[in-house]
Structure formats: C-alpha cells, structure tokens
Homo-oligomer: A and B are copies of this chain.
C-alpha cells in the first residue's frame, strides 16, 4: 500500500539547516551505537526537530511530520520521541494547556514565561533567571532546573492595552 515514501529530498526547504550545527547531525550514529535503527520515519522526525527550537507539543510534531510525510503515524512519533529522550536529545514536561511539551536541545537551558491574555510564550535565559536559581538555592537548598521553570502572568503589552 505504498508506504515508505522518502519525502526527504522533496522537503529540504533550507538545505543548510536540515543538519544543523548541533546534536541532530549525529543522531544516526547515536542510534547505531545502541543497536537501534535509522528509519525513514525517524529521519522525518529528526528533520522536523532540527527545524524546531524551544518547545513543541507532541501533537504539533505529529502535524509537522505529516506535512513532510502524510503517512506519519502518531504512535511511531511518540515512540521515537521516547528513544530520543533516552538518548538525552530531548526532554519533555507538560505545558500550560496540559499537553506534552518537548524541549529541544536541553543543553541550552531556559525557563518560560506565559502570558495568559495573548498566550505568547517567551524564553527566560539562564542569566535572567539566575536570581531565581540563587534564591531557591540559598533559601531551601533547592536546585532549580531551568527547563522546568514556568512563570504565568500578563505581559507588558497586554497589561498596557487594559490600562488605556
């Protein structure tokens, strides 16, 4: 029933970034080192991930994979995400809407700021969050993991609209 289409060559919009600087270029080797396999489905997901920075939900990734390969099956995506998390290339938590949220490149750790009015999410880089990390360490001996720092509230833009 004609699965296993290789959509790769059709969709490398930005050939230069398909295998970007980072982690993704060696996934294939990482997998092989562990006796795991490099499949077209995984290739598709890696391509999508390599174009993604920050955070995505599982459902979003499936959607994007489907654009590359319409035959994408959810369970395959989720299973591959599990594997990638085992390899340490990914980390997941849960977003404000309760869905799985995957963080790409956990090396570059940062927190998140969510505006309840406009729904926008911003990253809080490590230096800006330093004050939080310090406060929790000193007060409680708690080691903050920035990738699991989530701050809700209202952004300057939305607050401004109301005020006027």
Contacts and interface: CB of A to CB of B under 8 A. Distances in A.
Interface of A: 93-100, 113-116, 122, 128, 131-132, 135-136, 139-145, 147-156, 159
B155 A144 contact: no
A116 to B, nearest CB: 7
Contacts of A114: 148
A136 to B, nearest CB: 7
A142 B153 contact: yes
A153 B150 CA distance: 12
Given A93-B96, A99-B98, A156-B140, A148 B149 contact: no
B142 A113 contact: yes
A93 B152 contact: yes
Copies per complex of this chain:
2
Given A94-B97, A140-B156, A149-B152, 11 more contacts: A93-B96, A93-B152, A94-B98, A96-B148, A131-B131, A136-B151, A141-B155, A141-B156, A142-B153, A148-B150, A149-B150
A143 B128 contact: no
Going nearest first, the 6 A-B pairs with the smallest beta carbon separation are A148-B152, A141-B156, A94-B98, A144-B153, A145-B153, A150-B150
- Considering residues A95, A135, A144, A153, which has the most beta carbons from chain B within 10 angstroms of its beta carbon? A153
